[in-house]
Every structure is written in structure tokens, then in C-alpha cells.
Chains A and B, each alone.
Chain A
Amino acid sequence: MSSLRDILLVGRFEVLRAVRTWRAMALFLLYGIAYGGASYLAVMILHALENQVAKQLMVATTTKPGALLDKLVESEMFAEIVVAATGNEALVEMVKDVPPLAIFGMWLGLLLIPFFAASSAAECIAIDMGNRALRFEALRTGRLEILLGRFVGQLALTGVATFLALGVVWSVGTLFMVGHTPFSLALWLLTLTSRAWWFSIPFAGLGVAASAITTSPAWARVMAIGATGASWIALGFARYFEGGDYGILADVMLQLLPQGWMRMLWEPGLGWLPAALVMVALGLAMAGVGHARFASRDL
């Protein structure tokens, strides 16, 4: 109980500290700009697709993005795009009821959040080991509690950043697009895009682990971003070899890589929850790797 209390205290202090420095502001801006820019681009692409579908159907094109959304989501081309983006054919029917911008939001989240979360978490311990500020906490609580507290703090920051990013996507969708009500867009953004936050957990764990290994925040960030990039490359290999000569190895990799569970995160209803739990387990496992070093290192 005392351990959990300390984890929450350390996490709370981590959030407060980040909020008072450029770190949290930079994180929020990064999310906002990335999501805002990308969702505006998505609106433009959807508009172009709508007009392409209109030409195929020999109906009038539109100057307002979203005006032909119902025709677009019924099209073969849109189904192909959804399958390519999510890797899940079963979702084609489900997403007919979902604003495309919400689908795009989640897709973008799954792509970007790993890098953002790993990068942000990478300095949470290293910076305080470098300047020895960590010693003040290390005198009063266990190193596991410090590590998990920083992890929880980073997840809270990522959660706030994700929520703000949803607001940006919603604003772009509401301002520049028709074809959905602001309420339904908000609802679907919350339902779908917030799942991307769960996907951030293993990568935040990876960042925390990197941060616990070195006293250099820059080096920790290089390690965290490098490992995140490597995990995407590993996913590519696993998908390539899936069902082939190295099928068993590929299957194991897909179980261990967070990206191997991405398809399940798209599942409708509560079908995505097992994947969310796996994200938590992988996040703790990643942080545990960092703790193995952090627990016995000189501070």
C-alpha cells in the first residue's frame, strides 16, 4: 500500500514538474501540431477521394470536404484503404458508421505516439541521475517506486497530450469538413483514438527503461527512439515471414512486439481490451528491463 502511495506521489510530482517546464508544453505542442497538420492533410485527401469517387459514379463533385462521405465509405477504394491502414478486413463494415477522420486519428496515433511517448519518457530519470536530483527521492523511497512513479507520470502526460490532440482533430474536422455531427466525431474520436494511448504504454516503458540505463538524457532519447524504430522494422520482418519458413519465430515476435497487437486494438466493442491489457504488460516488462539496471546502479 505504501509502495503504491509512493508511486502515485512520484508520478504526481513528475507531472507537476513537467507542466512547469518546457517539457510538457513541448510535448503538447508536438502532439497538437502533428495531429492538427496531419488531420488537415487527411481532410484534403478525403476530399480528393470523394471527388474521385464522384467522377467514377458520374455525379457532381463537391467543393466541401465530407459532402460525399456516404458515397466514399461505400466505395471499394475506401474499403481497400481501410484494410491497408488497419490490416483488419473485418473492420470495413464497422467503419462505415465511423467518421473517417476518427479512423485516421487512431491510425495516426498508432504511428506517432510510440515515438512521442518513448522520446518524452527517455529523459524522465536520466536527467535527474545526471544532476543527482534523484538522490532526494532515493533517500525516501525504493528505486522501483521511483521508476514506476516516473512511468505513471509519463503515461499521465501522454494521456493529456492525446486528449488535447483529439481536441485538435475534432476542431479540424468540425471546421473544415461536413458529413458528420460534431458530437458523433467527438464520440468516435474518444472511442477510437483514445485507444492509441494504450498503445503508448509499452513505448513509454521503453523510454523509462532507456532513461534508467544512462545518465545522459540525449543518449537515453537516442536509445528510446532507436529501439522504437527498430520495433517497426522488426514488425516488418515478422509480417514478411509470418506463415513462412520462419513462421514460429515471426509469431513469437508478433506476440512480443506491441505492434503485433495493433489489429486487435481496432476491434469493435470490447474486443480491443485484451490488447490493451497486453500493452500494460509489455509496458511493465519494458520498464522492468530498465529497473534491472537501475536497482543496482550507483546514483
Chain B
Amino acid sequence: MQHALRFVDVVKTYGGKRALDGLTFDVPTGGITGFVGPNGAGKTTTFSVVSGFLTQDEGALEILGLPAFDPWKHRGRLGVLPQDAELSDRHTPLELLTHLARLQGMGGRDAAREASRVVDVVRLSERGSSRIASLSHGMRRRVAVASALLGSPELVLLDEPMAGLDPLQAKSLREALAELRGRQTLVVSSHNLDELERFCDHVVMIDQGRCLRQGPIGAVTGQQELVQWWLAGPPPLDALAAALPDHSFTFADGVLAQRAPSGADLDAASLVLMGALVSAGVAVRAVRRGKGLEHQFLEDAAR
């Protein structure tokens, strides 16, 4: 299966407002896909349609090769962290997760073992037997993430998994999820684009219920075409153009933008460029490949 998830012209309307307005995108199998968009872009609606919580008005979707969500066919294959869904707080994480694992079809002992495993994955083992009511917001969020990982589903949708987590918790969760790369397909929505850029292999950008752009993160942010150099002084533009004639250079606000032709060897070019800068006595303060996800998103959203 090439695509774990596919949306084709999906429309969902709430009271006359189109939350999804002909949304079309694919999520490739394997890897981690960032699902990016501002508030109200339709991210949570998209996840809810995939999960069967909402039914689309128009369009088609394909989830793990099957049309539309069916709990009997998808349970255990699709894991979802719903946004803002409260946990039954009178139970312990282990009790709740065991119950959910049993609903996925596991026997009692297997379910208990699986609950312990996912609690461990989200680094919450020491609080697995505490009442959920006694856990902090961040810990509850991790329990909810653990529920999405029960049974190692092929496709996992995480709606704002880092929301409300402190930096340490977010880092810990990010690392835990990164370990799943290659084994499961993860789709992660977040407002934190820098975080997604470091974490994801693929990105889908949406706004106002439509897909703005999608593709491998390097391609979307132009990592093969653009290098930005933060310099201490003006660069020798003529020397750079002579040294790298296929590349184009612009300099503004202390930033040198180097645009490379398709298929250029950027590593080799960087050595040439740095040599020219050193010869001109210009110090390099920072370097970044591509525009950055946030920059690209803002550019696309403004169109």
C-alpha cells in the first residue's frame, strides 16, 4: 500500500461554514507526516472524519486501503489521539488502557501487557497505577497518546500531542514517537512548525479546509534549492557569482540567500562559498537550508 491515508475532494460543512472545502491530500506509508495549519484550518475536523467521529458531506477517503472508517475493520489498525477528548478520570491509566485494548480484541492478559507497554513508551510507567484524576495535564495527554499506540496500529493520528506539555515532557514524547519511525505511519498535527520541521519526514499544509502544499519536508521548504547564510558583513557577491556561476545570490538584512539549480551538490557549493567568504573576511553567524516550514507556510497562506 503506497498511501496510508488519502483524501479526495472532501467537504465537511458546519452550519453553512465549510470546515473542509474540497480537501485533497495523501499520507505516504511509513514515516512521520506533519499536518500543519492555523487554528480553524480544518486539522481536527480532518482527524475526526478519518476516525469516524464526523461524516463528510462530499468526497472520498481511503484509510489503510479501506473506504471510510469502520470500527470493526480498523480497530487495532488505526490509533487516534483526539483533541480535547477527556479521559475517564476515575480509572488508572493501566485500567483504562487495558479496557481499550480489550475492545481492540485482545484477551485480558494480552491487553494488560499491552497497556503496560504503551505506558512505558510514553514514559509514564511510574504513574500507571495512579488515578487519572491525580495526574497533571501533561501526564493525561501522554495517557491519551498511549491509547493511540495500543496494539502498534499501522496508522496513528496525533492531534496536537504536545499541547500543554512542558519542554521536557514535549522532548520526551517527541523522542518516544521518533522511535516509531519506519515501523508505523504517524500523522502529527501541531502549531509548532519548528518542532514539526525537526521531527517529520513529510508535511501536509492546510488552510481554510484546503490543502496548500504537501510533500517531503525537504522539498516543501526548498532545502535542495535554497541556503540562507547569516553574515557579519556584506558578502563579495561578484566573487561568489564567479565561483558558483549556476547559483544566484541576493543579500538583504544581513542574510545571504543562495539559490541553487536543481540537482546541485550543495555540500560542495558550501565549501566554495565559505572559501570566498573567508577570503573576503566575512564571518558566518548561522546557516540554514531551505526557508523553514513556518516561512513557507506563511508565504503559501498569504497567497
Contact = CB atoms under 8 A, between A and B. Distances in A.
Nearest to A12: B99
A150 to B, nearest CB: 13
A281 interface: no
B287 interface: no
Contact of B104 (A10, A21, A133, A140): A140
A82 B100 CA distance: 51
Interface residues of B, number: 31
A140 B80 CA distance: 10
A71 interface: no
Nearest to B54: A298
A64 interface: no
A21 to B, nearest CB: 6
B293 to A, nearest CB: 29
Contacts, number: 72
Interface string A78-108: 0000000000000000000000000000000
By secondary structure, the B interface counts as loop
Nearest to B85: A132
A199 B221 CA distance: 66
Interface string B84-107: 111110110001100110111100
Contacts of A137: 100, 103
B82 interface: yes
Given A132-B82, A132-B85, A142-B71, A20 B103 contact: no
A123 interface: no
Nearest to B144: A136
B85 A139 contact: no
Interface residues of A, number: 23
Given A136-B85, A140-B75, A298-B53, A9 B99 contact: yes
Contacts of A138: 51-53, 71
Contacts of B78: 139
Nearest to A143: B71
B296 interface: no
B54 A136 contact: no
A131 B79 CA distance: 19
Nearest to A299: B53
Contacts of B55: 296, 298
A16 B80 contact: no
Nearest to A149: B103
A181 interface: no
A142 B69 CA distance: 11
B91 A16 contact: yes
A133 B74 CA distance: 19
Contact of A133 (B53, B71, B87): B87
A20 B96 CA distance: 13
Contacts of A293: none
Contacts of B103: 6, 9-10, 137, 140-141
A2 interface: yes
Nearest to A134: B85
A131 B86 contact: yes
A132 B78 CA distance: 18
Given A2-B105, A141-B71, A141-B75, A136 B91 contact: no
Interface string A1-37: 0100010011001001100110000000000000000
A55 interface: no
Contacts of A6: 103
Interface in B34-87: 48, 51-55, 71-72, 74-76, 78-80, 82, 84-87
B102 A139 contact: no
B85 A135 contact: yes
Contacts of B116: none
B86 A133 contact: yes
B88 A9 contact: no
B75 to A, nearest CB: 5
A136 B87 contact: yes
Q: Which of B86, B87, B96, B105 has the most CB of A within 10 A?
A: B86
Q: Which of A21, A136, A299 has the most CB of B within 10 A?
A: A136
B214 interface: no
Contacts of A17: 88, 90-91
Nearest to A140: B103
Contacts of A2: 72, 105
Contacts of B185: none
A138 B104 CA distance: 11
B147 interface: yes
Contacts of B95: 16
Q: Which of B54, B55, B85, B87 has the most CB of A within 10 A?
A: B85
Q: Which of A17, A132, A139 has the most CB of B within 10 A?
A: A139
Nearest to B102: A9
Nearest to B111: A9
9 contacts: A2-B105, A135-B51, A136-B147, A139-B75, A139-B79, A140-B75, A140-B104, A141-B71, A298-B53
Given A17-B88, A20-B90, A135-B82, 18 more contacts: A2-B105, A9-B99, A9-B103, A10-B103, A16-B95, A17-B91, A132-B82, A133-B85, A133-B86, A133-B88, A136-B82, A136-B88, A138-B53, A139-B52, A140-B76, A140-B103, A296-B55, A299-B48
Q: Which 4 A-B pairs have the closest CB atoms?
A: A140-B103, A132-B85, A20-B90, A131-B86
